[in-house]
Amino acid sequence: DIQMTQSPASLSASPEEIVTITCQASQDIGNWLAWYQQKPGKSPQLLIYSATSLADGIPSRFSGSRSGTQYSLKISRLQVEDTGIYYCLQRYSNPWTFGGGTKLELK
């Protein structure tokens, strides 16, 4: 199974700051990587697919990148509503696996 190691597990940042969350895949997964945001008490929402493509309706301050088997989600100009837990997901091979999640809090 492909392991997705996500870091950090939690972080706290101030509005307007830039934050980066990373996922390290245990093997090559190409661009089969997605990012989700889960707000408290809500279902996950797709942010990024194919490692770098922005999902419909998602603000452009969210962006995804890839360097080898390391994938990053960058949130620029952090807003209060960005509070939540962020997960990566690999869809390269079955079983599909999620990262452990990153809890983002705003100061």
Residues forming contacts to another protein in the complex (CB under 8 A) are: 32, 34, 36, 38, 43-46, 49-50, 53, 55, 85, 87, 89, 91, 94-101
Tell me the pairing of strands 10-13 and 102-106: parallel
For another protein, which is the closer residue by CB, 17 or 100?
A: 100
- List beta partners, residue 25: 4
Residue type, 64: G
Q: How many CB atoms lie within 10 A of CB 100?
A: 14
For another protein, which is the closer residue by CB, 17 or 32?
A: 32
Residue 55 Cβ vs another protein, minimum distance, rounded to whole Å = 7
Q: How many CB atoms lie within 10 A of CB 86?
A: 24
For another protein, which is the closer residue by CB, 17 or 66?
A: 66
